[in-house]
Chain A
């Protein structure tokens, strides 16, 4: 009985703060203290957001963005993890590729957009590649670090007991490296969301980035903010989902380590 009450008391200040941010804005727009053309009332923005969702307008851009994000992210992660395990395991592979990666890693991946557009056009191939590249490097670096941090005694023990290479990979290397990989994947997720939206804004042929920029260019001020609310919700949901995945897959890592 007392526990839910205590929880309510605890979330009250947070809600009050959000209200304290939005209420003056709402009143200022109602009383014409600020230019309503450029700064719409929060209530109007939320009403439009609701409309966009209810009428189903939200689905096409959301699905476009999500599929690009999922595709690019999956490609980037898979490539980075497999390559990272090779590099972490085999000294010669590491030696061969480490300088190249050191050169390519500091390139801000968004700066590659004009190049990607020159070679791949404005279609999904360009966006997938850019998202994949942005995802690749943080995951790769973390995977290599993780593999090299595995206690060699564990691997030698497994080999002494006659386990195959595949078993060592699945039972020892991947679980031991998982916290590192996931830390890299968490960084990559937020970067790839930034990158997919900028790519959509520039190519202007569908997706959440496109509708936001379209709203801005067409002076659909309220719509522009409403789409921002939707993108914010997407970012929040993705982060929430990722935390859940993290808890499920690396439950043995105590949360204090993060």
Chain B
């Protein structure tokens, strides 16, 4: 078994022909090699799999009610978005996600700073956080139905519960990893605590907060969908099982695809925003 790392040759050399012979001329390599050496092969694979899906369903190679052709799913996606059915459903989900996310993250950031800045707060809160953060959120939802009923408050609480502890920990690790010289200098100059928080702790913790916010975003969406599945009367988690029971599998697949697109777009948007907020921390975070 030969361990070849062809990617490093182009990665370190930047693809510039400074070293003759390091990169073969494209014309000489032939079409197959060219496809294999770029992402084209991967895109072709995706297209081939989609065609396979289409063909197996269209020509009845897979005889199953659960296997609608890909084109039918896309048509259903288009139709259900236009009719407003899917938009209403995804809107309910995102509205819950947003409220739970903001609540949990806000609380988590405050707790995180408290832990980093006061030793007493750390000693007081850390054991509880350590216990709470390992609880799988799904298990919390059914008992909480007794408290909140089946409406949005339950789901918002579940999302906030899932997010608050990781958020507190990443904030605390960011604010806690600050070079003590900075805080000492601030103290030497007799700066007020609120000023130190704003101008010293906050910028130091910001890259960690952003990282926490990003992972929490995905988590919040998953927990929303899951809580809609368990305690459902609205949202996409509920819709998925509704369509499954009703054997409307095409609509079900369409909903999954929409959910995936939304999850992807949210993450993309967040990355763009993150890049703007902590552009100065790029080099540090890369290490």
**Interface of A toward B, CB cutoff 8 Å:** 10-18, 21, 38-39, 89-92, 94-100, 103, 106-115, 117-119, 148, 152, 155, 159, 164-166, 168-169, 173, 190-191, 193-195, 197-198, 201-202, 208-209, 212-213, 215-216, 221, 224-225, 227-228, 231-232, 235-236, 238-239, 256
Q: Give the interface segment out of B51-59, B102-110, B219-227, B272-280.
A: B219-227
Given contacts A94-B7, A148-B7, is CB(A224)–CB(B143) below 8 Å?
A: yes
Q: Is the CB of B5 within 8 A of A108?
A: no
A232 / chain B contacts, CB cutoff of 8 Å: 131, 134-135, 139
The reply to whether A110 and B135 contact each other, CB–CB distance below 8 Å, is: no
Our pick among A15, A98, A108, A208 for the contact of B39 (Cβ within 8 Å) is: A98
CB of B136 closer than 8 Å to a CB of A: yes
Q: Tell me whether B271 is interfacial, beta carbon within 8 Å.
A: no
Instruction: Evaluate contact between B124 and A212: CB separation under 8 angstroms.
Output: no
A–B pairs, 21, beta carbons within 8 Å: A11-B123, A13-B120, A14-B125, A17-B125, A38-B146, A92-B37, A95-B42, A106-B260, A108-B225, A108-B259, A108-B260, A114-B243, A118-B249, A119-B66, A166-B1, A193-B136, A194-B136, A198-B138, A212-B139, A231-B136, A232-B134
B256 at the interface (CB under 8 A from A): yes
A202–B141 Cα distance when bound, in Å, is: 13
Given A10-B123, A110-B229, A235-B136, A95 and B39 touching (CB < 8 A)?
Answer: yes
A17 touches B146 (CB 8 A): no
Say whether chain B's binding surface is mostly helix, strand, loop, or mixed: helix
Closest B residue, CB atoms, query A258: B173
Residues of A close to B49: CB separation below 8 A: 100
Shortest Cβ distance from residue B77 to the other chain A in the assembled complex, whole angstroms = 14
Say how far B10's CB is from chain A's closest CB, in angstroms.
Answer: 8
Closest to A213 in B: B142
Name the distance in Å between B51's Cβ and chain A's nearest Cβ. 14
CA distance A212 to B142 in the complex (A): 7
**CA A95 to CA B6, docked complex, whole Å:** 12
Contact present for B42 and A98 (CB under 8 Å): yes
CB atoms of A208 and B225 under 8 A apart: no
Return the chain A residue nearest B227 by Cβ: A198
Q: Are B142 and A215 in contact (CB under 8 A)?
A: yes
Across the two chains, which residue of chain A brings its CB closest to B12?
A152
Instruction: Evaluate contact between A89 and B3: CB separation under 8 angstroms.
Output: yes
Does B140 lie at the interface of the complex (its beta carbon under 8 Å from any beta carbon of A)?
yes
- Given A193-B136, A213-B230, A238-B134, are A99 and B39 neighbors across the interface (CB < 8 Å)? yes
Contacts of A148 in B (CB 8 A): 7
Within the complex, what minimum Cβ distance (angstroms) separates B182 from chain A?
17
